[in-house]
Amino acid sequence: MSAPPTISPTDAETTLQELNLELNRLQRTIRLTIQEQLTKLVGCSFDDLKLNRELAESIHQLLESHGLRVQCMECGHPAILRVLPRGDSGGVFVFDHTIDGKRTFHGGRKTVPMIRLVAKPPRKTRRTSTQA
């Protein structure tokens, strides 16, 4: 077996940095593409609780697979779009998020609210990860 080709730490770093930039660009494109398509649903609603719930769930699954969340229109926190039953209507769309350790719902329109996508926050409290 011949020795494997060598690479300097600097070269390795440059390669990874370039890869990172490329991935960030791709991720941004993915985010914008998803956002553009979801915008078509804004203001829409099925007059049916089950269908609305399925729609919200499908949106969430799609975002989840790309590490995304919707941004709450009221407070700006990353949130999950859900549909809660209300009266005998098709339910209401809410932003489901945890604020100060408490599960909180904002919104409550009968149609899909404005959708702005943000990166999914880290699972644990974000104290440690932001330090460079």
Contact 91, 84 (CB under 8 A): yes
From residue 7, how far is each of 2, 10, 13, 112 by CA, in Å? Answer: 15, 8, 10, 51
Least Å distance between CB 100 and Zn ion? 12
Q: Mask: binding to Zn ion, 6-45, rule CB under 5 A, as x and -?
A: ----------------------------------------
Pairwise CA distance, residues 91 & 52, whole Å: 7
Tracing tokens 């730490």 back to the chain, one arrives at: 9
Options 51, 57, 60, 74; binder of Zn ion; rule CB under 5 A: 74
Closer to Zn ion by CB, 27 or 74: give it: 74
Contact 95, 106 (CB under 8 A): yes
Q: Is 106 in the site for Zn ion (CB under 5 A)?
A: yes
Residue range at the interface with Zn ion (CB under 5 A); choices 1-9, 58-66, 77-85, 119-127: 77-85
Q: Which two tokens stand for residue 57?
A: 């769930």
Residue in 72, 78, 80 with CA at minimum distance from that of residue 106: 72
Q: Is 116 in the site for Zn ion (CB under 5 A)?
A: no
Residue range at the interface with Zn ion (CB under 5 A); choices 8-16, 19-27, 44-52, 65-73: 65-73
Which spans of this chain sit near Zn ion (rule: CB under 5 A)? Answer: 72, 74-75, 77, 106
